[in-house]
Structure 1
Amino acid sequence: MGGSGELGEFLRRRRAAVTPADLDLRAPAGRRRVIGLRREELAGLAGISVAYYTRLEQGHVANASDQVLGALARALLLDDTQRAHLFDLARRPRRPARRRPRVERAHPRTLELLSALDHLPAVLLGRRNDVLAWNRMGHALLAGHVPFDAPDDPTTRPSMSRMLFLDARTRELERDWEHYARTHVGYLRLISGRHGDDPALAELIGELAMKSPEFAAMWAGGDVRECTFGSRTLNHPDVGPVEVTYQVWLQPDQPDHRLEIYTPGPDPAAAAAFAALERGLVHAAPSRASADTD
């Protein structure tokens, strides 16, 4: 779907989600045919003509000004993430060049940081949520059933998006799978608005929509979310239930790369689970080494 089509779809969804009561508007007497705002109501709130707004929603305006987009964002009560998505969609070329981007590679500086964080799980994700690298704790916490060296080869890199929806063991790991999945889909929609010229990202979304009815339903909902911090409760196969918090470190010179770092949740049992996970790695190391020498 082109940027103009997605822009119109986003505007229609947000217009349907805002009622006159949300904005203290006095609705005309009589039965309304729409639950949300009418086009003329939104246009009036944004200070633009109904004709211009209609053309914008239909994808016939290629260069809406920042002032117009800002006014629409305010009228639609958009949060910062939704506002950024609106601007991304409005600024996307009508016919984006479908160039396959360069293979993503982890910066040596980030790899050094991953290695230094040996007591905390950490994962480096690329633009499409592919795992570019992880440390031993990150691998053990989130994907112990996947070969540790899988991220080293671009053709075998684990996709966190595919694993979340298509891998049964990853799904079993998430105690509140639906909540985390909705957050993940909202972030994918945010990224798709920012990178509409990425064919691999479009292929990923299309594949998930075809193979996972749950993904298709969540994607159709149109939610857009940022994902920079939060908490998860995992049903870990080796250390049992463990509550974790995570935060994302963005890379200034590689803004599409996200370093996720996990820390134990407030329950003391979480710290104990982390310690048990680390002990398991330490105990497993000699057996791996001896196996290599046999």
Structure 2
Amino acid sequence: MKSKSQLGRFLRTRRAQLQPSDVGLPQFDERRRVQGLRRDELAHLAGVSESYYTRLEQGLSRGASTAVLDALARALRLDETEHRHLYDLAGVGRKSDQDRTRESPAPEYINETTRQLIDAFGDTPVVVLGRRSDVLAWNPTGHALFAGHLDPTSPADPARRPNTARLVFRDAHTRELYEDWPKKAKDAVGRLRLGVGRYPDDPLLAALIGELVMHSEEFTALWSQHRVRAWDTATYRMRHPLVGPMDVTQQAMPVPNQQSQRLVAVTAAAGSASQAALTLLAQTTATDRPARLTTDHLSTVSEHL
């Protein structure tokens, strides 16, 4: 995945998604030959020449300045996440060149400090994801919530690690897990886009995307939109096969001193049926309890519904 071609595609896609009226330009009744803004219109809004902007889209111009990228971001109405993604695709950072984080990807692993952090969350479902959305670790409740049908030891083996994007598009259990699956799919693709911007030369990331394009028309359609999604907070309604429906919040936070690793913790509103369902799920994973649901357990959840 060449970053220059990705930059051009991103710019073309974003330009096509804006209409003249969106940016305060007059729109006449003439039939437009392009979808969205023309190159000259966007160049005018950004304060650059049309020829220079054309070279950027075609990948023929190197070293776009931060001032030009900021102007393009304003003209394209990019949000902060998209703005950062534009910097990544252009190969520049908000700091000096020495501070850029475009080094060759190193093998990913979980250190002892991160394991202690996972343990500190107790029964709260937790997973740690790497730069490709691979599951690097999870606690018992996190495993039970997201992928109880998979081997709980699989994250420890790089050859068998679950990948959340792959699960979303190619795993029937995960598709059924999210009531609004299209929303989850968009989020998964948007986060992969961020990874491509930061690690354009990662062969395993390229292989993952190639696999998903080959096997999923839904992924291909979303990938072509060049949307990005921040790793922050997202709410979903999940339909777990053991404890039933629940409304949860998935919060992602950077793992200290582990570049591009994120810890995702899952919570529910205090006193809600969803919180009761998560508590019940934690009980079924406890080592000193049978790993199955009893009638009493199900009654506990039913009282909250």
* Superposition TM-score, scaled by structure 2 size: 0.87
> Judging changes above 3 Å, is the alpha-carbon distance between structure 1 residues 30 and 151 closer, same or farther for their aligned structure 2 residues?
closer
Q: Which residue of 1 aligns with 2:140?
A: 136
Aligned mates of 1:70, 1:237 — CA distance in 2: 47
Deviation by residue 1:174-224 (Cα, 9 ceiling, x = unmatched): 111111111110111121111101110000000011011111111112211
Aligned mates of 2:233, 2:22 — CA distance in 1: 29
Q: Which residue of 1 aligns with 2:96?
A: none
8 Å contact kept, 1:100–1:200? no
Q: Which residue of 2 aligns with 1:173?
A: 177
Give runs of aligned pairs for residues 73-112 of structure 1, distance below 5 A: 73-91=73-91, 101-112=105-116
Letter in 2 for 1:129: S
Q: How many residues align?
A: 283
Give runs of aligned pairs for residues 129-278 of structure 1, distance below 5 A: 129-265=133-269, 268-278=272-282
Could you tell which deviates more after superposition, 276-285 or 159-168?
A: 276-285
* Superposition TM-score, scaled by structure 1 size: 0.90
Q: Secondary structure at the match of 2:124?
A: coil
Q: Which residue of 2 aligns with 1:22?
A: 22
Letter in 2 for 1:242: M
Query: Offset at 1:135?
Result: 0.6
Could you tell which deviates more after superposition, 126-135 or 273-282?
A: 273-282
Aligned mates of 2:228, 2:184 — CA distance in 1: 13
> Judging changes above 3 Å, is the alpha-carbon distance between structure 1 residues 193 and 278 closer, same or farther for their aligned structure 2 residues?
same
Query: Offset at 1:227?
Result: 2.8
> Judging changes above 3 Å, is the alpha-carbon distance between structure 1 residues 267 and 216 closer, same or farther for their aligned structure 2 residues?
farther
> Judging changes above 3 Å, is the alpha-carbon distance between structure 1 residues 285 and 12 closer, same or farther for their aligned structure 2 residues?
same
Aligned mates of 1:287, 1:193 — CA distance in 2: 42
Aligned mates of 2:10, 2:253 — CA distance in 1: 28
> Judging changes above 3 Å, is the alpha-carbon distance between structure 1 residues 231 and 29 closer, same or farther for their aligned structure 2 residues?
closer
Aligned mates of 1:269, 1:125 — CA distance in 2: 28
Query: Offset at 1:44?
Result: 1.2
Query: Offset at 1:259?
Result: 0.2
Deviation by residue 1:10-63 (Cα, 9 ceiling, x = unmatched): 111111111211121124663322242111111111111111111111110111
Could you tell which deviates more after superposition, 228-237 or 200-209?
A: 228-237
> Judging changes above 3 Å, is the alpha-carbon distance between structure 1 residues 287 and 75 closer, same or farther for their aligned structure 2 residues?
closer
Same amino acid, percent of matched pairs: 49
**Structure 1: unaligned runs, 5 residues or longer:** 93-98, 289-294
Query: Offset at 1:265?
Result: 3.8
Aligned mates of 1:74, 1:146 — CA distance in 2: 45
8 Å contact kept, 2:231–2:253? no
Give runs of aligned pairs for residues 28-67 of structure 1, distance below 5 A: 30-67=30-67
Aligned mates of 1:239, 1:249 — CA distance in 2: 26
> Judging changes above 3 Å, is the alpha-carbon distance between structure 1 residues 287 and 37 closer, same or farther for their aligned structure 2 residues?
closer
Letter in 2 for 1:4: K
Aligned mates of 2:2, 2:270 — CA distance in 1: 44
Q: Which residue of 2 aligns with 1:9?
A: 9
8 Å contact kept, 1:3–1:90? yes
Could you tell which deviates more after superposition, 108-117 or 193-202?
A: 108-117
> Judging changes above 3 Å, is the alpha-carbon distance between structure 1 residues 266 and 116 closer, same or farther for their aligned structure 2 residues?
closer
Aligned mates of 1:59, 1:174 — CA distance in 2: 39
